Amino acid sequence: MIPHVAIVGSGPSGFFAAEKLLCSHPSVHVDMYERLPVPFGLARFGVAPDHQKIKLVTQVFEKIASSSRFAFFGNVQIGRDVLVDELLDAYSAVIVATGASNGADLGIAGEELKGILHATQFVNWYNGHPDCADLEIDLTNTRSVAIVGQGNVACDVARILLSPIERLRMTDIASHALEQLSRSKVESIHIVGRRGPAQMKITPAELRELAAIDGCSISTDPSALTLNAESNLEILDPTSPQGKTYKLLSEAVSNGRLSNVEGKTLSFDFLRTPTRARGNQHIRALECKVNALRGAPFAQRAVPTSSTVEIPCDLLIRCVGYRGVEISGVPFDSDTGTIPHREGQVYGLEGNPVRGLYVTGWIKRGPTGIIGTNRVDSSETVMHVLNGLSTRIVSGEIRQQFIASLATRGVSAVSWEAWKTIDQYEKCRGSTSGKVREKITSIEELIRISSGYNDSERIIAEHNF
């Protein structure tokens, strides 16, 4: 009997799991379910628009999807349109690869004020995610932005806000974001972190890119660059990421001081823990405790002192982590925002394995690692899926009946061919204004376009391409 495996989520981890399954088993079939009508998860909606080379990974995913043993069911949300138990009844194995799409809060007073966003919202907004297409972001009345968190997502957010508009115009950035950014009044950005420059999570390549932005000078409190003995040990190896990042930051700060650029400023505010968002209805400042570092090298903790400072800001973006979203019927650890598992085999909260149910990617290990990390992670999960297939095979007829039942319950799935029509349409639409693609940001519009997938000439004529 041919085993059929369902993968829930079409981001990098879902595709890498599909690749491993298809390569490792001669007859397995993979059905991939995705809540949006379009595939690729954060490779489409997370990776920054000015990082088009990284987005080329979608070509690898396209190749995986071209297998005759692969099928795509977009616009099907597991937990809402279909229950996980139904998938478990219809498939030999189910792999959950739903990522981590919720932003983490700071847990401070005043966090409900207007002008405070999660990175997920801001990133989704500029990347044209349907969930945030209507988000009201007014950069024409924004002069100062505080970004909390000193990792690569914070770097992406700062770079998009600081980049000359010409740098973004040809990318696949959403047109509503391009329009706002072209009228932006942002003059200063503060990237705020609890610890010091030796502990910063930003990688050297990302910092180098920030430092290279025309018309932007980088600054920090000079005393923050004077490290304590423990932090000095952390940067001692000049080839380590910490050593390189520290060196780059020191150089960028001294270049900023020398260059006398009259443009935008980017300040790294170290040793600050946010304690309160101040403002009437809208945020106007972020109050922070000033910290000191304590502890052994590579385990330096931020300990608050009695001093406080205020960072003026009209927009606050929280880049302090992503959390997974619970799916009805799937065990969930609400402390970590992940699904409990052992090497990818899902376990119930009472400690028993859930037969046939597996997990991979950010919903498995939390929001860490780059796209490639998910390949290794998915390999581990698939190894256990393959072992399990010898004891749990569901007949293909049951899977067929299940798929047929989707239409009768009003779920209109978007196939891979239908996605390719959307893909062509977006590229075509983008080319009229010199962009890589112009993403469709409305679910209704995406479905309307995909439904004419065997009649793409009509769609193109209709839109005057």
Ligand X SMILES: Cc1cc2nc3c(=O)[nH]c(=O)nc-3n(C[C@H](O)[C@H](O)[C@H](O)COP(=O)(O)OP(=O)(O)OC[C@H]3O[C@@H](n4cnc5c(N)ncnc54)[C@H](O)[C@@H]3O)c2cc1C
The reply to whether 33 sits near ligand X by the rule CB under 6 A is yes
The reply to whether 362 sits near ligand X by the rule CB under 6 A is yes
The reply to whether 54 sits near ligand X by the rule CB under 6 A is yes
Q: What is the dihedral of CA 367, 370, 376, 377, to 10 degrees?
A: 10
CA atoms within 13 A on the CB side of 363: 30
Interface region with ligand X, contact rule CB under 6 A, candidates 37-45, 283-291, 328-336, 446-454 = 37-45
The reply to whether 206 sits near ligand X by the rule CB under 6 A is no
The reply to whether 440 sits near ligand X by the rule CB under 6 A is no
Residue closest to 18 by CA, chosen among 83, 76, 87, 66? 66
Binding ligand X (rule: CB under 6 A), the pick from 7, 42, 139, 449 is: 42
b or e along 178-213 (b: 16 or more beta carbons within 10 Å of the residue's beta carbon)?
A: bebbeebebebbbbbbbbbbbbbbbbbebbebbbeb
Instruction: Give whichever of 34 and 269 is closer to ligand X, judged by the CB atom.
Output: 34
Give the DSSP per-residue string, 98-116. Answer: ----EEPP---BTTTSBTE
The CA distance from 118 to 367, in Å, is 14
Residue closest to 308 by CA, chosen among 264, 276, 261? 276
Binding ligand X (rule: CB under 6 A), the pick from 78, 132, 145, 191 is: 78
Binding ligand X (rule: CB under 6 A), the pick from 7, 155, 327, 346 is: 327
CB of 390 to ligand X, least distance (A): 27
Site size for ligand X (CB under 6 A)? 35
The reply to whether 341 sits near ligand X by the rule CB under 6 A is no
Residue closest to 270 by CA, chosen among 321, 202, 317, 214? 202
For residue 257, give the 3-state DSSP assignment: helix
Instruction: Give whichever of 253 and 346 is closer to ligand X, judged by the CB atom.
Output: 346
The reply to whether 8 sits near ligand X by the rule CB under 6 A is yes
Strand partners, 322: 103
Binding ligand X (rule: CB under 6 A), the pick from 18, 20, 37, 46 is: 46
Per CB under 6 A, contacts with ligand X among 151-180 are: 153, 156
- What is the number of the residue whose Cβ is closest to ligand X? 11
The reply to whether 14 sits near ligand X by the rule CB under 6 A is yes
For residue 271, give the 3-state DSSP assignment: coil
The CA distance from 139 to 129, in Å, is 19
Instruction: Give whichever of 58 and 273 is closer to ligand X, judged by the CB atom.
Output: 58
Could you give the angle at which helices 175-182 and 152-162 cross, rounded to 10 degrees? 60
The reply to whether 270 sits near ligand X by the rule CB under 6 A is no
Interface region with ligand X, contact rule CB under 6 A, candidates 130-138, 340-348, 367-375, 394-402 = 367-375
The reply to whether 317 sits near ligand X by the rule CB under 6 A is no
CB of 132 to ligand X, least distance (A): 12
The CA distance from 129 to 120, in Å, is 10
The reply to whether 104 sits near ligand X by the rule CB under 6 A is no
Instruction: Give whichever of 181 and 293 is closer to ligand X, judged by the CB atom.
Output: 181
Per CB under 6 A, residues contacting ligand X are 8-14, 33-36, 41-43, 46-47, 51, 54, 77-79, 97-99, 123, 153, 156, 322, 327, 361-362, 369-371, 374
